[in-house]
């Protein structure tokens, strides 16, 4: 509204009547009048500015992955008014698309039509991306994808006819994006197109909750509580102020009697059910006064007669769905329970630097890779004009702390001492996909060594990766195609014959195990220990060809010293075991045979000295043939018995 006519009248009044004031009051009247005129001028300019700004309304929300969309009804627009719209993604990688129609929008029908036209374009060899503007021009009176800053959407529309209009916001049809959004809607408010307008308190549009599928949601899940797992919890998605959460629980097997506890983000109890743990069914409802995120629903086994109850159960959770309390509400809407993040883990064994049998550990150089997706890690590419973000060393930790983000931290369970990291990289993609890569060297404990068949034993080695989070938040899976054993391990004593990976549940969380099987290079022990022992026993046998029993005793006694030296050599490589190894039994059997040879030769010497040389020669003759047979039979029996064990 123009203030120019009033100002003209004001000038005429000033000139005609107010100039001839009495001198005694002219001194203070003129300043007062000037101040009054200035006030009205400022007020007039302010009113004009407010009128130029127009009405502005702000909406926020979250577009989930897949088919999330928000629909608004704008009623009573008048011909000549200009509608201004600006949509921006405020979290995740959301690339918003906004569209205005003069008729209600049927998202399901229009999506099917759009998909059919894209398929037809592809079959005809046309660019399917050209379908988007063509389709939008036919369906909407105005629309936009990227006219704002970066990937923000913005448009203005001058109303041609009075009537109601329908505004839709969803992810760009070019790709599936998700995240929080901010939506500015203005009437005759061009500042909205800057994306920085403040709301004026006017009601321009109303969210169509039914068309947007917002509000009611029901989800069902099933699980089991056992004697080892007596409790679990579920993290809930963000729940808006005024929404009511409904929970229904029933045991489906066993004697399970649950205790249910609803906690907020700080584990402060909000509501409970069946606290006494006496019923097999339980239910609760709770209305949230404020927006609530990261609330948790805890389920634990009740006690009956001093023993923990256990069994399978069915859990029904709903938002604004009171039928949940009957236990028969059908599932609908978006999931309420947040699923745990699946982290796919793989390890490549690059080198075995050392195997210390006595300390029962081994040194390795290996590569670890983890792949996962977390919506909280998503970002909009227009932030950095990049397809991904790359972090090295501890850069990601700092980034996560600054942005309040988390990641599936882990520990190497059987690590001894430090883990020396050669490379540590994390790659983030806009949709929240993340890849962690680390090449490291460390010493690992191997408490599962079994030396019973030493030196013909086969040993299992493990690299165990443990999650620091419970399985309700992080669960491990296998990274297909990554885990492997290098071709040049650099360990000469051991030959790796195979490997496998496994996922297991521990009390604290998931565990990924990379295990490989290795056996010794047996040639070393055969030629360095067993062959010399056989030759020494051969020397003991050759002594039976000597007629001088005294010489025999001297030679076999020298053999005893050789056996003792071999025994110390072998024992230095092994820990102090509480059981006998195959090598121990072989050494003991040879030691016993050597002692018997000495005893036998002493006996023959006694016979000779007692003038019973004839008997001595006859015994000597039989022993000459029996000794090698007994040696071979004893050795075969030892190997056979240990092989069966």
Tokens of 495: 């030959």
- Every domain of the chain and the residues it spans: 4-53, 56-207, 217-326, 341-520, 523-644
Q: What is the mean pLDDT of residues 37-54?
A: 45
Q: Supply the pLDDT for residue 382.
A: 86
Class in CATH terms, 217-326: mainly beta
Residues 52-62: tens digit of each pLDDT: 458 999 999 88
Angle formed at CA 39 by CA 33 and CA 41, multiple of 5 degrees: 105
The conformation of residue 182, written as its DSSP 8-state character, comes to E
Q: Supply the pLDDT for residue 252.
A: 94
Angle at which helix 531-542 crosses helix 613-644, to 10 degrees, equals 160
Exposure on the CB side of residue 523, measured as CA atoms within 13 A: 5
Residues 465-497: tens digit of each pLDDT: 999 999 989 999 999 999 999 887 877 778 888
Tokens of 582: 């195959």
Q: Supply the pLDDT for residue 563.
A: 75
Q: Which of 118-122, 292-296, 588-592, 594-598 has the lowest mean pLDDT?
A: 118-122
pLDDT greater than 50 at residue 24: no
Q: What is the mean pLDDT of residues 359-379?
A: 93
Same topology for domains 56-207 and 341-520, yes or no?
A: no
Q: Supply the pLDDT for residue 598.
A: 83
| Biggest CA-to-CA distance, the chain | 171
Q: Supply the pLDDT for residue 350.
A: 92
Residues 255-300: tens digit of each pLDDT: 999 999 999 999 999 999 998 888 999 999 999 999 898 899 999 9
Q: Supply the pLDDT for residue 504.
A: 94
Q: What is the mean pLDDT of residues 230-252?
A: 92
Among 1.10.246.90, 1.10.10.10, 1.20.58.390, 3.30.360.10, what is the CATH number of 523-644?
A: 1.20.58.390
Q: What are the CA-CA distances from residue 305 to residues 59, 228, 257, 302 (Å)?
A: 55, 18, 12, 10
| CA 427 to chain CA mean position, Å | 14
Element (H, E) at 533: helix 531-542
pLDDT greater than 50 at residue 315: yes
pTM of the model: 0.77
CATH code for the part of the protein at 56-207: 2.60.120.380
**Dist CA 577 CA 450 (whole Å):** 10
**Dist CA 236 CA 298 (whole Å):** 11
**Residue 237 three-state SS:** coil
Going by pLDDT thresholds of 50, 70 and 90, the confidence category of residue 643 is low
Please, what is the average pLDDT of the chain? 84
Tokens of 339: 């699923």
Q: Taking a C-beta distance cutoff of 8 angstroms, is the pair 319, 246 a contact?
A: yes
Q: What is the mean pLDDT of residues 507-518?
A: 92
For domain 341-520, the CATH superfamily is Neurotransmitter-gated ion-channel ligand-binding domain (2.70.170.10)
Identify whether 455 is preceded by a cis peptide bond (ω within 30 of 0): yes
DSSP letters for 319-362: ES-GGGGGT-PPPBSS-SBPPPEEEEEEEEEEEEEEEETTTTEE
| 254 C-beta neighbours (distance < 10 Å), count | 16
Q: Supply the pLDDT for residue 143.
A: 94
| 367 C-beta neighbours (distance < 10 Å), count | 19
């Amino acid at each position: 509204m123009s203030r120019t006519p009033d100002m003209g009248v004001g000038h005429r009044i000033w000139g005609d009547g107010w100039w001839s004031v009495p001198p005694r009051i002219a001194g203070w009247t003129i300043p007062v009048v000037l101040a009054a005129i200035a006030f009205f001028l400022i007020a007039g300019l302010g009113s004009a500015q407010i009128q130029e700004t127009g009405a502005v309304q702000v909406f926020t929300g979250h577009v989930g992955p897949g088919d999330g969309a928000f629909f608004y009804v704008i009623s009573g627009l008048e011909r000549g008014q200009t509608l201004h719209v600006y949509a921006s993604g405020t979290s995740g990688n959301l690339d918003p698309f906004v569209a205005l129609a003069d008729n209600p929008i049927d998202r399901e029908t229009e999506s099917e039509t759009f998909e059919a036209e894209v398929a037809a374009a592809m079959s005809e060899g046309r660019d399917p991306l050209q379908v988007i503007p063509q389709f939008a021009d036919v369906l909407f009176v105005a629309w936009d994808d990227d006219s704002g800053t970066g990937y923000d959407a913005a448009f203005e529309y001058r109303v041609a006819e009075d009537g109601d209009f329908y505004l839709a916001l969803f992810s760009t049809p070019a790709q599936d994006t998700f995240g929080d959004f901010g939506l500015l809607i203005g009437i005759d408010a061009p500042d909205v197109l800057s994306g920085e307008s403040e709301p004026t308190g006017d009601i321009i549009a109303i969210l169509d909750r039914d068309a947007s599928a917002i509000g009611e949601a029901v989800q069902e899940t099933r699980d089991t509580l056992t004697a080892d797992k007596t409790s679990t919890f579920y993290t809930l998605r963000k729940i808006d102020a005024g929404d009511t959460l409904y929970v229904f629980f029933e045991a489906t097997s066993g004697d399970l009697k649950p205790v249910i506890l609803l906690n907020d983000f700080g584990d402060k109890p909000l509501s409970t059910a069946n606290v006494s743990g006496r019923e097999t069914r339980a239910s609760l409802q709770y209305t949230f006064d404020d927006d609530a995120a990261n609330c948790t629903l805890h389920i634990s086994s009740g006690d009956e007669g001093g023993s923990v109850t256990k069994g399978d159960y069915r859990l029904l959770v709903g938002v604004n769905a009171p039928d949940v309390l009957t236990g028969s509400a059908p599932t609908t809407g978006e999931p309420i329970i947040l699923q745990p993040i699946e982290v796919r883990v793989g390890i490549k064994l690059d080198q075995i630097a050392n195997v210390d049998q006595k300390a029962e550990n081994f040194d390795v150089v290996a590569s670890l890779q983890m792949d996962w997706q977390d919506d909280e890690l998503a970002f909009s590419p227009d932030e950095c004009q990049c397809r991904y973000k790359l972090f090295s060393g501890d850069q990601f930790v700092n980034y996560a702390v600054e942005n309040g983000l988390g990641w599936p931290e882990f520990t190497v369970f059987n690590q001894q001492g430090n883990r020396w990291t050669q490379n540590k990289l994390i790659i983030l993609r806009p949709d929240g996909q993340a890849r962690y890569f680390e090449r490291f060297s460390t010493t690992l404990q191997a408490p599962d060594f079994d030396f019973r068949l030493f030196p013909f034993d086969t040993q299992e080695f493990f690299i165990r990766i443990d999650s620091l989070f419970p399985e309700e938040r992080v669960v491990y899976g296998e990274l297909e195609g990554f885990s492997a054993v290098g071709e040049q391990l650099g360990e000469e004593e051991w030959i790796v014959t195979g490997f496998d990976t496994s996922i297991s549940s521990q009390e604290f969380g998931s565990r990924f195990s990379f295990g490989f099987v290795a056996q010794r290079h047996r040639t070393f022990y055969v030629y360095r220990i067993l062959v010399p022992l056989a030759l020494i026993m051969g020397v003991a046998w050759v002594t039976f060809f000597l007629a001088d029993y005294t010489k025999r005793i001297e030679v076999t006694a020298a053999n005893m010293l050789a056996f003792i030296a071999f025994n110390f050599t072998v024992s230095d490589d092994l820990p102090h075991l509480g059981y006998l190894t195959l090598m121990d039994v072989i050494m003991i059997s040879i030691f016993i045979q050597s002692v018997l040879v000495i005893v036998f030769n002493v006996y023959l010497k006694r016979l000779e000295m007692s003038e019973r040389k004839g008997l001595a020669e006859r015994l000597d003759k039989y022993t000459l043939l029996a000794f090698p047979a007994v040696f071979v039979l004893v050795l075969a029996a030892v190997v056979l018995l240990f092989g069966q064990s």
